[in-house]
Amino acid sequence: MCVDTARENERVKMITETDIEEEDGVFKFIGLRYKCDRRVLLWVAIYHVLTYATWTHWYSLGWAARAGMLFACSMFSFFGATITHNAIHVPLFSTPYANSFFQIALSHTYGWPVSALVPGHNLSHHKFTNTARDAMRPDRMRYSWNFLNYLMFPVETARAIAASDKAYMMHQKEQDRPIWRQYLVEAASFYPLQAMLALYSWDRYLAIVLLPQLYAKYQIIAMNILQHDGCPAHEIDDYNHSRNFTGAAINYLTFNNGYHTIHHTNPGWHWKRLPSSHDALLKPKMHPGCDQDNILTYFFRAHIYPGKRLAYDGTPYVLPDEIPDEKWYDGTAETYSEGVADYKFKNE
């Protein structure tokens, strides 16, 4: 830790709080906390408008129009998945009822009850990054063809987190904790609507709802292997445990989900603060290879051609010995979100 902790914390506060404005307009009435999150609400609305329009006009659209609309639905469902990721760390609204309703809307945007993301992502991946307790660690993937590692990573990850996620939720139920009740509300809204749409028009449900939402879930998990493969554990290295994608387009569309190192260091910081905090606090100390300008060119280089696994510094990645999963859930009631993690580095 730094010797003058108070001075350092004050410097961090100045850096991270100067570029975010509190909501003071009409959206304050519904409890929206920050102006920049108006665009978050717009993105969610666009997904639902696109899906409704595609469903309504499906049989009158030509193949090209159908393909274009399905692409748009898939992309905005994926953007909804990145919004979901941000929302389980930092609530958008100042009231629990507004946040509860928004999580229901997000469940229908990216295709899964939002609260179910908390155990595997917040409490396993964030707390134990790239260790045996991280159910989402890329080192479990050991195919010689690196594209297959990317392709199968979401499948292997889902399998790894399923049992622990169920145990977590059952314990929340026994303790009658709020996250269990919120999960029930989300599930009671999500699953019946999915079933009704499938029964009403199975072909439209498959094409317009299920496939775009599967794409969203698949890609938000697959993004993890891009961000962490070839990086050391957080407990070993404070600065090089994550790979960042700093391109303007992806960060505009996904609300700064490309700035991953600073997000892991402070998962309770609002997405708007991440670029300036990354540049000021981490970039001078991390290896330059941890910053990639373009996620697509990195994906092509690492998984297509030449398709070799890369360490964070750009050198060929040598896999460590395979390790078995370790239990990560200890009965905690926290969600490793806003107000939990502060700026600190163990190796100072």
CB 346, CB 98: distance < 8 Å: no
* Contact of 261 with 286, CB cutoff 8 Å: yes
* First-to-last C-alpha distance (Å) of the chain: 5
Residue 74 confidence (pLDDT): 98
Per-residue pLDDT at 345 exceeds 80:
no
How do residues 243-279 score in pLDDT, each as one tens digit? 999 999 999 999 999 999 999 999 999 999 999 999 9
Are 54 and 73 in contact by the 8 Å Cβ rule? The answer is: yes
Residues 6+ apart with CB under 8 A from 287: 239, 240, 312, 313
Mean pLDDT, residues 8-17 taken together: 57
**Of 101-110, 145-154, 300-309, 336-345, minimum mean pLDDT range:** 336-345
Residue 3 has pLDDT above 50, yes or no: no
Scanning the structure block, which residue is given the tokens 């029930």? 184
What residues have CB less than 8 Å from 70, skipping those under 6 apart?
54, 207, 208, 211, 212
Mean pLDDT, to the nearest integer, of 104-128?
Answer: 93
Contact 133, 328 (CB under 8 A): yes
pLDDT for 195 beyond 70: yes
Contact 203, 210 (CB under 8 A): no
| pLDDT average, residue stretch 29-57 | 97
Structure confidence at residue 130 (pLDDT): 93
251-288 in b/e form (b: 16+ CB < 10 A) is bebbbbbbbbbbbbbbbebbbbbbbbbbeebbbeebee
Residue spans of beta strands (DSSP E) within the chain: 244-245, 291-292
pLDDT at 267: 92
Whose tokens are 């072909």? That residue is 203
pLDDT digits over 155-185, tens only?
999 988 887 888 889 989 998 889 999 999 9
- pLDDT of res. 164: 82
What pLDDT sits at residue 109? 98
Q: What local confidence, expressed as pLDDT, does residue 207 receive?
A: 98
- Which of the four pLDDT bands, split at 50, 70 and 90, describes residue 328? confident
**Interhelix angle 211-228/96-110, nearest 10 degrees:** 100
pLDDT at site 340: 40
Decide if pLDDT at 338 tops 80. Answer: no
Average pLDDT, rounded, for the chain: 90
State pLDDT tens for residues 47-90.
999 999 999 999 999 999 999 999 999 999 999 999 999 999 99
179-190, pLDDT tens digit by residue? 999 999 999 999
Reply yes or no on whether the pLDDT at 18 is more than 90.
Answer: no
Instruction: Report percent pLDDT > 70 for the chain.
Output: 90
- What mean pLDDT is predicted for residues 87-115? 95
pLDDT band at 4 (very low <50, low <70, confident <90, very high): low
Cα angle value 135/96/183 (rounded, 5°):
40
Residue at 203: amino acid letter: D
What are the structure tokens assigned to 111, written together?
A: 């295709």
- E-strand spans in 7-73? none
* Least-confidence region, from 9-13, 29-33, 325-329: 9-13
Does the structure show a pLDDT above 70 at 198? yes
Please name every residue paired with 310 in a beta bridge, in sequence order, or none if there are none: 316
Question: Encoding tokens for residue 268?
Answer: 């309770």
pLDDT band at residue 12 under the 50/70/90 scheme: low
**pLDDT at residue 62 in the model:** 97
Per DSSP bridges, beta strands 291-292 and 244-245 are: parallel
How far does Cα 66 stand from its chain's mean position? 28
How many other C-beta atoms can be found within 10 angstroms of the C-beta atom of residue 99? 17
Distance CA 274, CA 278 (A): 6
With a cut of 90, say whether residue 212 has pLDDT above it. Answer: yes
Backbone angles phi, psi at 32, to 5 degrees: -60, 135
| Residues 138, 135, 242: CA angle, nearest 5 degrees | 45
* Model-wide pTM > 0.75: yes
Q: Is 149 within 8 Å of 303 (Cβ atoms)?
A: yes
204-228 average pLDDT score: 97
Predicted local confidence at residue 333, as pLDDT: 62
pLDDT band at 334 (very low <50, low <70, confident <90, very high): low
Tell me which DSSP letter residue 3 carries.
S
**Cβ proximity of 95 and 85 under 8 Å:** no
